[in-house]
Chain A
């Protein structure tokens, strides 16, 4: 179990594993997010990550999507919603979301970069 006590998820074609990564945590997503309403699993997960980081002072979350082969626009909405939470966060509680991408998956190179424009300084692309 990771330091935030968040359980991993496996549902349909997607697996999400939350683990410790040094002083931060890693959220690794694998498979396809192409269900009709991915917010059912993503919103509660990202809410837990956000609250956990704010409460515990974690300053870095790696969103590892190197094994994510498809992401529909409803999944993008869920990630955007998570990122937008940082817009109103107190400065001393803010953390950085580092998206770890796979440049050999074509959609990732165009889709993920747009997320860096939502909240200045909140998202880094690796």
Chain B
């Protein structure tokens, strides 16, 4: 199904070679896109944070070019959908799935606090806080999908 048939209202879709320096640019772009669409700075800020965290993961763990981000919204319901896709190796996919399972259990705040305590003792340079932060701070419904060499994380932010 094409993006044009899925959305009732506005959307943006970006494809780019994953580079760290683009993340802040995309974050600001999404924040402005949502702010002018909904006049709700709080939601725009939360979604922009979530997009930024997902893009950080994509840049860190992508296997090659072609990272994709899509944000679509409905003025009728106020819902916002966001997805980030990137190519990943089978090993990276398995690692993300394992982390996903550990993040999606427990109460969102309890899971976040547990992961922060774990992060504080990590010595591998990773935080592994992005997903659990998104879950707690946005309250969005989160889905993980794999298709071929692409891995996609989708968020549905219901008003």
- A residues sitting closer than 8 Å to B (CB atoms) are 32, 34-37, 39, 70, 72-74, 76-77, 80-81, 83-84, 105-107, 110-111, 114-115, 117-118
- When chains A and B are docked, how far (Å) is the Cα of A34 from the Cα of B17? 19
Q: Is B109 a contact of A114 with CB atoms below 8 Å?
A: yes
**Other-chain contact of B119, A35, A80, A110 (Cβ < 8 Å):** A80
Q: Is B133 a contact of A77 with CB atoms below 8 Å?
A: no
Q: Is B20 a contact of A110 with CB atoms below 8 Å?
A: no
| 8 cross-chain pairs, A with B, having the tightest CB-CB distances, nearest first | A73-B129, A77-B127, A106-B45, A84-B120, A81-B120, A77-B119, A80-B116, A106-B42
Given A70-B24, A77-B129, 20 additional A-B pairs, CB 8 A: A36-B20, A36-B59, A36-B60, A70-B49, A72-B53, A72-B56, A73-B133, A74-B56, A76-B127, A76-B133, A77-B119, A77-B127, A81-B119, A81-B120, A106-B42, A110-B46, A114-B113, A117-B109, A118-B116, A118-B117
Q: Which secondary structure dominates chain A's binding surface? A: helix
- When chains A and B are docked, how far (Å) is the Cα of A34 from the Cα of B25? 11
Interface string of B125-137 (1 = CB under 8 A from A): 1010110010011
Q: Is B24 a contact of A32 with CB atoms below 8 Å?
A: yes
Say whether B23 faces chain A, with CB atoms less than 8 Å apart. Answer: yes
A-B contact list, 22 entries, CB within 8 Å: A34-B23, A34-B27, A34-B52, A36-B59, A39-B125, A70-B49, A76-B116, A76-B133, A80-B116, A80-B117, A83-B120, A84-B120, A105-B45, A106-B41, A106-B42, A107-B45, A107-B46, A111-B137, A114-B116, A115-B116, A117-B113, A118-B120
